[in-house]
Amino acid sequence: MRLLRYLIVSGSAAALAGAVTLSGVTATTVAAPARASHAPSARFLAAARTALVHYLRHNHPQAMLVHTRNAHAVKNVTATSAFNWSGYADTATTAQTFSKVSGAWTTPSVTCRAEDQITSNWVGLDGFNSTTVEQLGTISWCFQGKPVYFTWYEMFPANTVEVGTALKPGDKIAASVTRTGTSYAFKLTDATTAGNNISVTKTCALATCKDTSAEWISERPAFNTTGIVPQAHYNAFKITSGAQTANGTAGTIGGGPGVNAITMIDSTQAYNLGTVSGLTGGNSFSTTWKNSF
């Protein structure tokens, strides 16, 4: 998703198993929501998609990163807080370090209230420490109190493109972005429900798209008019088979020159909106919903 970048001041890593404490306040875990009992109509889906396209246009891609206090090093992982992301990002300072990122997950269900809320799950290149984005994934969108689900991709400088409208909670997703020179291949496969797959190729000049990060993220995007939105209450989001290719060498999450574990926090920096687990086997982790805003 496309978001304005804030000042970056990264801390070193805090303990990643369990909730992260900020300013002496630790958020409590909330029970996972139940799935929606029935699918919305085609007319409602079309209205939701139109509204989503309108809200998400003309935004910027970067993470809104902020300082993590009282942190310490754990296994070379840097603990970073963001207003809009939770998950992992491998990073580098040399352009064109990363040429592929991939991962798999099960589409999480969301519980909706009256207000519009969003959670977006994706893999991608750039956006953590650069001004471009090449990413794709799934989005759960609480529109007029009802959950709707889409697959999507985004390639700088264009806006988000919503693709599949038949996505459902529980669908098995595998996604990747692969760069060959200036060409980016976006591929997403929904192994559960037809009509949601993505297979497109886009281009970006090497001087523009730096490829200095690879990410596996749960995000609350921003509306064009009102800014960052409440995070939809999702059940467990777990990345598996997380992988990246850095400097021509294939590896798992954390295999880049730098690795960041990102906790989503509220705008007052007093409590967590989403926490991130430690890595399992180098290629798996989960994020946990704590609050919406």
110-162 pLDDT, tens digit each: 999 888 899 999 999 999 999 899 999 999 989 999 999 999 999 999 888 98
**74, part of any domain:** yes
pLDDT at 286 over 80: yes
Closest C-alpha to 64, from 136, 110, 121, 5: 5
Q: What percent of the chain has pLDDT over 70?
A: 80
Residue 56 lies in a domain: yes
- Asked whether the bond before 230 is cis by omega within 30 degrees of 0, the reply is no
8 within some domain:
no
Tokens 């209205």 map to which residue?
47
Residue 16 forms part of a structural domain: no
pLDDT-derived band at 222, boundaries 50, 70, 90 = confident
Of the pLDDT bands very low, low, confident and very high (cuts 50, 70, 90), residue 59 is low
Residue 278 lies in a domain: yes
Q: What is the mean pLDDT of residues 47-51?
A: 80
First vs last C-alpha separation in the chain: 18
Residue 38 is predicted with a pLDDT of 61
Q: How confident is the model at residue 238 (pLDDT cuts 50, 70, 90)?
A: very high
Q: 165: pLDDT confidence band, cut at 50, 70 and 90?
A: confident
| Distant-in-sequence, close-in-space partners of 97: CB < 8 Å, separation ≥ 6 | 211, 212, 246, 247, 256, 257
Question: What is residue 147's predicted lDDT score, i.e. its pLDDT?
Answer: 94
Question: Which run of H or E residues covers position 180?
Answer: strand 172-180
CATH number for the domain that contains residue 206: 2.60.120.700
Task: Give the residue carrying structure tokens 């060409």.
Answer: 183
Domain residues for the domain of 233 are: 42-289
Residue 32 inside a domain? The answer is no
What is the four-CA torsion angle of 228, 50, 133, 6, rounded to 10 degrees?
-10
Residue 109 has pLDDT above 50, yes or no: yes
What is the distance between the alpha carbons of residues 138 and 163, in angstroms, rounded to a whole number? 10
- Most confident among 51-55, 174-178, 264-268, 280-284 (mean pLDDT): 174-178
Q: Which residue has the higher pLDDT, 267 or 13?
A: 267
Tally of domains within the chain: 1
Could you tell me if residue 48 is inside a domain?
A: yes
Separation between Cα atoms, residue 191 and residue 164, nearest integer Å: 13
pLDDT at 37: 45
Domain contains 218: yes
Tell me: pLDDT of 72 over 90.
no
Query: 32-36, 65-69, 128-132, 138-142: lowest mean pLDDT where?
Result: 32-36
